[in-house]
Amino acid sequence: MRTQRYRRHDLIDWFSQDEVSAARIAVVGAGAVGNEVVKNLALLGVGGIDVFDFDEVEAHNLTRSILLRESDAGRNKAEAVAERARDIDPNIRVRAVPGDFWDTLSLRALQGYDCIVAAVDNFEARLRLNQMCLITGVNLVNAGLDSRWASVESFPYGSVEDAACYECTLPDSAYARIAERYSCGGLRRRARIERRIPTTAVTASIAGALAASVALRFGEEDAPTRSRRTLVDTLGGTAGTVSIERREGCPGCDAHRDAAQVIRTRNCWVRPEGAAAMDGSVLDQPLRLSDALIASYECAACGPLEDSARYLNHRADEFDDSIATCPVCAAPTVRVGIRDTFALGELIERFGRRPVPAKFALAEMDGRLVCFDFEEDTGP
């Protein structure tokens, strides 16, 4: 069956069907571009494909998504796409992972992939994927589009130590767009109109084809040794590829100058037995959490609030800026303190046996970046 199905691939002298069949790729986002990426990977016979998406299928998705049908309306996108991809080739394994990848994809599971394809539609998701790939040294492909242009960027974190990262490409306007979504250092803004980027199946198919091709090139002998961007004008029919250089002062590169040592640990903050007098330098060790937390909550006029326990030590992005309005005096005078960095001793005081609501924590220890992974393995 394998020989008959892939025999045309076997005639291509530079194409290794065995390597493709052994590849494991995660596609984050099952919309217009993600549909095309998964379709191409399935047709090529990629052995393991995991599809992540939290969204549901809507009617307007059908004009740009080859793997979706009208009967899928209301279904989770990842589940619908994975089901159709398995129909393409029953010999491959395609797994749907419904939900936000930040909650469903652990660092340990991510390390099992050859490449991650970001087919998402917002900067925050790309920044989070970029950070996870930098920490684990997993290759990243970022695909983006609008009504005319298709852009595919490749970041060879798995083989190039000083490769430019995704944040090296971001202009100040991108951070301004992120700031439009959040206020008070991390609270979601209310009554915000979501920007939707219109596109067509033509642009999505070109972006998806390029992303799938790039994703499978990382392990080759002549694979690019630098981060690159390919930009295609789908109306004019022109294309160009440029190297992406490391940007001085890039937040992503500066935070991950060296590969992190990933240590899996229990998400429990109790002093070890016999360690009542832990060394002060240990307790003062700063830990930067993957998620910003609400560290303080108090009204400037009324003082401490009775319902502060609802918010303290929870992830800031779980709430919108309505919590800055005092429930007592009804004025927007609540001071919401949001932080992502805490001393070890402070985390012990705040949480004890309760888990910190974060994926991981980063620390500089003995001149080296260490990542403490709090999550259970959610991989297959």
Each residue of 340-361: pLDDT tens digit? 999 999 999 999 989 999 999 9
Same domain? For 39 and 176 the reply is: yes
- Domain assignment of residue 6, yes or no: yes
Instruction: Name the pLDDT band for 379 (thresholds 50, 70, 90).
Output: very low
Each residue of 60-91: pLDDT tens digit? 988 889 999 999 999 999 999 999 999 999 98
% of the chain exceeding 70 in pLDDT? 93
Tell me what pLDDT residue 224 has: 77
Q: Cβ atoms within 10 A of the Cβ of 227, count?
A: 25
Q: What CATH number is attached to the domain comprising 157?
A: 3.40.50.720
- Domain assignment of residue 239, yes or no: yes
Same domain? For 302 and 239 the reply is: no
Q: Is the pLDDT of residue 260 over 90?
A: no
- Domain assignment of residue 380, yes or no: no
Instruction: Name the pLDDT band for 274 (thresholds 50, 70, 90).
Output: low
Tell me what pLDDT residue 255 has: 84
- Domain assignment of residue 85, yes or no: yes
Instruction: Name the pLDDT band for 157 (thresholds 50, 70, 90).
Output: very high
Instruction: Name the pLDDT band for 186 (thresholds 50, 70, 90).
Output: confident
Same domain? For 38 and 139 the reply is: yes
Same domain? For 62 and 104 the reply is: yes
pTM: 0.90
> Which element (helix H / strand E) includes 351?
helix 344-351
> Which element (helix H / strand E) includes 107?
helix 107-110
Each residue of 292-331: pLDDT tens digit? 999 999 999 999 998 899 999 999 999 999 999 999 999 9
Each residue of 89-122: pLDDT tens digit? 998 999 999 999 999 999 999 999 999 999 998 8
Tell me what pLDDT residue 380 has: 44
Closest CA to 30 of 93, 81, 66: 81
Same domain? For 31 and 103 the reply is: yes
CA distance 362 to 40: 36
Using N-to-C axis directions, what is the helix angle for 32-44 and 77-88, rounded to 10°? 30
Same domain? For 305 and 162 the reply is: no
Same domain? For 57 and 137 the reply is: yes
Tell me what pLDDT residue 191 has: 59
* CB contact set of 260 (below 8 Å; sequence gap of 6+): 134, 135, 362, 369, 370, 371
- Domain assignment of residue 169, yes or no: yes
Tell me what pLDDT residue 258 has: 76
Q: Which of 219, 254, 289 represents a domain boundary (last residue)?
A: 254
Tell me what pLDDT residue 178 has: 77
Same domain? For 134 and 195 the reply is: yes
- Domain assignment of residue 29, yes or no: yes
- Domain assignment of residue 74, yes or no: yes
Based on the structure, what is the number of domains in the chain?
2
Q: Is the pLDDT of residue 177 over 80?
A: no
Each residue of 120-153: pLDDT tens digit? 988 999 999 999 999 999 999 999 998 899 999 9
Tell me what pLDDT residue 64 has: 87
Same domain? For 353 and 311 the reply is: yes
Same domain? For 14 and 155 the reply is: yes
Q: Is the pLDDT of residue 207 over 60?
A: yes
What mean pLDDT comes out for the span 256-265?
86
- Domain assignment of residue 378, yes or no: no
What mean pLDDT comes out for the span 194-219?
86
Owning domain of residue 284: 262-373
Tell me what pLDDT residue 37 has: 97
Q: Which of 254, 287, 318 represents a domain boundary (last residue)?
A: 254
Instruction: Name the pLDDT band for 216 (thresholds 50, 70, 90).
Output: very high
Tell me what pLDDT residue 331 has: 94
Average pLDDT in the chain? 89
Closest CA to 202 of 357, 50, 329, 36: 36
Using N-to-C axis directions, what is the helix angle for 172-181 and 123-136, rounded to 10°? 110
Tell me what pLDDT residue 278 has: 59
Q: Which of 229, 254, 279 represents a domain boundary (last residue)?
A: 254
Same domain? For 249 and 335 the reply is: no
Same domain? For 311 and 276 the reply is: yes
Tell me what pLDDT residue 349 has: 94
